[in-house]
């Protein structure tokens, strides 16, 4: 059986909806925009925060073996030398001599091959090898169609800035390129200040910055992004890493399919080959989602051995070992790292939830991720008694759930707008609510309409909060 055909305009439609309904705006728009930067609007900030909170709850709060951390964005410059990012966080780029389009060489090759029906990964290949593949395949420029590339060159992705107000006394620093290094450099303070025992994890959520050359795939890849990373430290003599790796695979898969409600058939694991994998990693697998521009990395899972702690011990001179309290054995723990970008998760969630039914557009978000759990309307905005009753319900529910108020236009238009925002329930106060309708038994009840089925039921105002609670998990 063939998979259902994807809507070729899906990306365009989601980007337009994101702007129209206040999820994501292009960055600095009134100044003509700033490429690959975005602003998260009133609905978007709620959705993004709900995903972050879900991550924090599942990966940190609800686990007895994980603690949290919030380290600095500006770290000592030696951190990035020790981690290998100064030498390593580089992209191999080519520029078209005809139209001056700059693009990542690996993307150019992989996208070209994918269009020809061949899935390849060239991560980790040298400049010369990339040059050779581009020449052998005669890969044309995706913008102008010509074949006239500069040789592949490497660019460092770390954002540089300077500390110090006097130019002569300034020192160069970097904005962090990943949150993970903050965890490694805090390792000693964490074991000294808490009762953690191996195996244990440290989770961190925060901004990372990369001077990326992007292809403008919306918020999939941006210059600054919210990263959610976890380092799970363990004793390789006491814990078998293969089993642990499989457990983490299951945890990530469950999070995406259950907590974020994404269709499993659009997900797959892709193990890194020997060439692509970092030299210190024993195994790396990417959880990939089938984005409109192909299966792409959503979440990286890597067994990084003791590389990071050993490097920081070497560069800083600090003792980053762990002493087994039972045996007194001293060693450097190994680590498994799941690393994801929250913005990328959000792009996936929106793409996956987008649905069209007739002329309606519905964002079928899981209710606990929706920016608003419910919207409250007075049937008519010019009838003070309806407005007052609806306002009372709104104020009451607002103390317990994020809810929206809407009294513009007619009910149909309000449903249309809330469907696009993904609000699971719309609550309407009408004349029956006030006891002024045809059926006196409906006094004190409201109409609640379900986003996905369009079905409506009457619910007593006094039971509304409990009714909603029962339907909104998490
Ligand atoms: P990619 O190959 O997509 O550039 P990567 O292998 O460089 O990703 P990692 O360094 O492993 O990514 O980062 C871990 C995760 O952080 C990625 O899986 C992705 O979800 C997220 N991420 C990385 N770079 C960006 C970015 N520029 N914008 C948004 N999210 C990002």
Q: Which residues pair with 405 in a beta bridge?
A: 376
Q: Does residue 357 form part of some domain? A: no
CATH number for the domain including 139?
Answer: 3.30.40.230
284 lines ligand 1 (CB under 6 A): no
pTM to 2 decimal places: 0.90
* One domain, residues 297 and 385: no
CATH number for the domain including 448?
Answer: 3.40.50.800
* One domain, residues 284 and 236: yes
* One domain, residues 64 and 181: yes
Domain boundary among 156, 185, 206: 156
Burial tier of 382 (Cβ tally within 10 Å: 0-12, 13-18, 19+):
exposed
Q: How far apart are the C-alpha atoms of 99 and 258, rounded to whole Å? A: 45
CA of 339 from ligand 1 middle (Å) equals 8
Q: How far apart are the C-alpha atoms of 201 and 211, rounded to whole Å? A: 29
* One domain, residues 34 and 77: yes
Q: Does residue 165 form part of some domain? A: no
Domain that holds residue 96: 90-156
* One domain, residues 277 and 249: yes
Q: How far apart are the C-alpha atoms of 77 and 293, rounded to whole Å? A: 36
Q: Does residue 359 form part of some domain? A: no
Per-residue pLDDT of the chain (474 residues; tens, 9 = 90+): 445 567 889 999 999 999 999 999 999 999 999 988 999 999 999 999 999 999 999 999 999 999 999 999 999 999 999 998 887 667 788 888 887 777 889 889 998 998 888 888 887 788 899 999 999 999 999 888 899 998 898 878 899 999 988 777 778 899 999 999 999 999 999 999 998 999 999 999 999 999 887 667 999 999 999 999 999 999 999 999 999 999 999 999 999 999 999 999 999 999 998 877 888 899 999 999 999 999 999 999 999 999 999 999 999 999 999 999 999 999 999 999 999 999 999 999 999 999 999 989 999 999 999 999 999 999 999 999 999 999 999 999 999 999 999 999 899 999 999 999 999 999 999 999 999 988 899 999 999 999 999 999 999 999 999 999 998 864
Give the number of domains in the chain: 3
What is the enclosing helix (H) or strand (E) of 390? helix 384-398
Pairing, β 403-405 against β 374-378: parallel
Protein residue with least CA distance to atom 15, ligand 1: 340
Protein residue with least CA distance to atom 29, ligand 1: 221
* One domain, residues 34 and 108: no
Q: How far apart are the C-alpha atoms of 170 and 394, rounded to whole Å? A: 53
Mention every residue, 6+ apart, whose C-beta is less than 8 A from residue 323.
329, 330
305 lines ligand 1 (CB under 6 A): no
CA of 432 from ligand 1 middle (Å) equals 53
* One domain, residues 309 and 385: no
343 lines ligand 1 (CB under 6 A): yes
The answer to whether 248 and 300 are in contact (CB under 8 A) is no
CA of 33 from ligand 1 middle (Å) equals 23
* One domain, residues 282 and 378: no
* Paired tokens of 334: 């190994």
CATH number for the domain including 22?
Answer: 3.30.930.10
85 lines ligand 1 (CB under 6 A): no
Protein residue with least CA distance to atom 21, ligand 1: 341
């Amino acid at each position: 059986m063939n998979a259902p055909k994807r809507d070729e305009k899906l990306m365009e439609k989601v980007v337009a909806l994101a702007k129209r309904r206040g999820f994501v705006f292009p960055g600095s728009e009134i100044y003509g925009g700033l490429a690959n930067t975005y602003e998260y609007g009133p609905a978007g900030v709620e959705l993004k925060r709900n995903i972050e909170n879900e991550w924090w709850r599942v990966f940190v709060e609800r686990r007895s073996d994980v603690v949290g951390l919030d380290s600095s964005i500006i770290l000592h410059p030696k951190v990035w030398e020790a981690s290998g990012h100064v030498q390593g966080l580089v992209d191999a780029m080519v520029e078209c001599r005809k139209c001056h389009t700059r693009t990542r060489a690996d993307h150019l090759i992989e996208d070209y091959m994918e269009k020809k029906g061949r899935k390849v990964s060239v991560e980790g290949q040298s400049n010369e090898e990339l040059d050779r593949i581009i020449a052998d395949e005669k890969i044309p420029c995706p913008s102008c169609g010509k074949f006239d590339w500069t040789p592949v060159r490497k660019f460092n992705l770390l954002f540089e800035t300077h500390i110090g107000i006097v130019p002569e006394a300034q020192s160069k620093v970097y904005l962090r390129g990943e949150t993970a290094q903050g965890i490694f450099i805090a390792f000693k303070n964490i074991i000294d200040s808490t009762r953690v025992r191996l195996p244990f994890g440290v989770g961190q959520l925060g901004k990372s910055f990369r001077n990326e050359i992007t292809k403008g795939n919306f918020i999939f890849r941006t210059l600054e992004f919210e990263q959610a990373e976890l380092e799970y430290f363990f004793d390789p003599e006491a814990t078998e890493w293969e089993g642990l790796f499989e457990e983490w695979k299951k945890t990530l898969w469950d999070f995406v399919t259950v907590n974020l409600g994404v269709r499993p058939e659009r997900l797959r694991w892709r193990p890194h080959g020997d060439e692509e994998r970092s030299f210190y990693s024993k195994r790396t697998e990417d959880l990939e989602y089938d984005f409109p521009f192909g299966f792409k990395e959503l979440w990286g899972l890597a067994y990084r051995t003791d590389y990071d702690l050993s490097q920081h011990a070497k560069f800083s001179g600090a003792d980053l070992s762990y002493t087994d309290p039972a045996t007194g054995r001293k060693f450097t723990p190994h680590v498994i790292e799941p690393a994801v970008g929250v913005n990328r998760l959000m792009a996936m969630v929106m793409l996956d939830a987008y649905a069209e039914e007739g002329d309606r557009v519905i964002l079928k978000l899981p209710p606990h991720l929706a920016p608003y759990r419910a919207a409250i309307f007075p049937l008519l905005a010019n009838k003070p008694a309806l407005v007052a009753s609806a306002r009372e319900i709104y104020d009451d529910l607002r103390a317990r759930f994020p809810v929206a108020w809407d009294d513009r236009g007619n009910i149909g238009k309000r449903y249309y707008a809330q469907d696009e925002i993904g609000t699971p329930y719309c609550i309407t106060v009408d004349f029956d609510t006030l006891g002024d309708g045809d059926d006196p038994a409906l006094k004190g009840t409201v109409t609640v309409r379900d986003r996905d089925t369009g079905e409506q039921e009457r619910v007593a105002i006094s039971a509304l909060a409990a009714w909603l609670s029962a339907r909104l998990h998490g």
